[in-house]
Amino acid sequence: MAKNLQAIRGMNDILPDASPRWAALEAAVREVLGSYGYAEIRFPIVESTELFRRSIGEVTDIVEKEMYTFADRNGDSLTLRPEGTACCVRACLEHGLLHNQQQRLWYAGPMFRHERPQKGRYRQFHQIGAEAFGIDGPDIDAEMICMTARFWQRLGLGDVRLQLNSLGSAAARAAYRERLVAYFEAHADALDEDSRRRLASNPLRILDSKNPAMAPLLAEAPLLIEHLDAASQVHFERLRELLDAAGIAYELNPRLVRGLDYYSRTVFEWVTDRLGAQGTVCAGGRYDGLVELLGGRPTPGVGFAMGIERLLGLLEADAEPAAAGAPQAYLVTVGAAAELAGLVLAESLRDALPGLRLQVNGGGGQFKNQLKRADRCGATWALILGDQEVADGSIGVKALREDEEQIRLPRAHLTEWLRARLPARSGSTA
């Protein structure tokens, strides 16, 4: 027997019983984004490898070991997008969206990283992200953070905490880097292998090490926040003032450095203790040098992205949202003539009632079996067309969730009968 084909490890199917939860989360987030004036942008899932190398940084976990990179049939090196910020900047530059104008944008979709799969960490995962361009003040950083706080409020997530740090300007970081290298070199024997390698290429990332043996060394390391340039310091102070005024609580985390190289100044993460090691549900920050790095004029940028799987993981324990997808009506058709009349009836109902969720029996079958299917799919009513109904222009209606007698209506009255019983939106003829 042929071997069953399976999904790629770390890449998940989202089955029909789960998708209403995805849709509800996406709808809530989309609504909040709209209320802050953010517009949707969509870009391809595949980009040139060079885009990610340049923006995320050569010496990062993502570029070094996690990208899905392949040569296409022309021999060009392409990569499945591991994140959206680089793609968003590329698209904005390509279409001239950053010329003397501000942009507030959002995007949603799958991202790909070849990480070791575990709960909350997948190889295809989904983000909703937002990016704002052309605004260098901390007011926009505060707006982004307020907006994310509003997502959690809307979704009913009470237990995510905000962590905040500033990475300063590129120059301040370069000076700090030297200090840090000197410190680690003085304690070279305490470095693990990964850190020794990073010492030459990306010493800041050593601070991110999760190796417990490194913890005492890291605890004593000099902190970037103590060596910020004056302008970044003012920027950060003002951001804190704005967040305080908005009533947004945060923890300062001087060790928050993020895993992508493009950040400068503000960085933040929303974390929870409920998801074990994969506790960051949303992360972002400012990247004032990225647009220039990718060939544009110097343009400040700031943004974040949240992991949908992780947010849904948090919501899982909470109440299930009502199953929004169940059909309202199921059309039972017995016999060839009824099948034909049923098709015509179903199409005319959909014309008249655009929001109606109507499922038509497929593949024939006995009356009893069709009714069973109607019941199983969660429909409120079974609409019944048999030989007799076809002959006399009527339709049977059986309430499936209430203990009521089956009724028979002239078929011409069915639209009005349904309209009177459907929620306002699905009964409209607009």
Contact segment (CB under 6 A) with ligand HAM among 37-45, 68-76, 303-311, 415-423 equals 303-311
Tell me which of 305, 331, 346, 422 binds ligand HAM, using CB under 6 A.
Answer: 305
Q: How many residues line the site for ligand HAM (CB under 6 A)?
A: 27
CA distance 320 to 302: 34
Buried b or exposed e, range 221-232, using 16+ CB within 10 angstroms: beebbebbbeeb
Is residue 304 near ligand HAM by the rule CB under 6 A? Answer: yes
Is residue 85 near ligand HAM by the rule CB under 6 A? Answer: yes
* Extended strands (E) in 171-278: 251-252, 266-271
Residue 374's SS3 state is helix
Query: Contact at 8 Å (CB) between 235 and 92?
Result: no
Is residue 113 near ligand HAM by the rule CB under 6 A? Answer: yes
Is residue 131 near ligand HAM by the rule CB under 6 A? Answer: yes
Chain position whose Cβ is nearest to ligand HAM: 307
The nearer residue to ligand HAM, 260 or 418, going by C-beta atoms, is 260
Beta strands 381-385; 329-333: pairing state: parallel
- Taking CB under 6 A as the criterion, which residues in 308-337 touch ligand HAM? 309-310
Is residue 151 near ligand HAM by the rule CB under 6 A? Answer: no
Beta strands 124-133; 103-112: pairing state: antiparallel
Other C-beta atoms closer than 10 Å to the C-beta of 408 total: 13
Is residue 307 near ligand HAM by the rule CB under 6 A? Answer: yes
C-alpha 203: how far from chain center: 31
The nearer residue to ligand HAM, 191 or 306, going by C-beta atoms, is 306
Is residue 115 near ligand HAM by the rule CB under 6 A? Answer: yes
Instruction: Kindly state the smallest distance separating residue 397's Cβ from ligand HAM, in Å.
Output: 46
Q: Does 262 carry a binding-site annotation?
A: yes
Query: Contact at 8 Å (CB) between 327 and 360?
Result: no
CA distance 404 to 188: 80
Q: Which residue has the tokens 């209606």?
A: 397
Q: Does 274 carry a binding-site annotation?
A: no
The nearer residue to ligand HAM, 229 or 309, going by C-beta atoms, is 309
Instruction: Kindly state the smallest distance separating residue 200's Cβ from ligand HAM, in Å.
Output: 24
Query: Contact at 8 Å (CB) between 45 and 81?
Result: yes
Positions in the binding site for ligand HAM (CB under 6 A) = 83-85, 113, 115, 120-122, 125, 127, 129, 131, 259-260, 280-285, 303-307, 309-310
Instruction: Please enumerate, by residue number, every residue annotated as part of a binding site for L-histidine.
Output: 83-85, 113, 127, 131, 258, 262-263
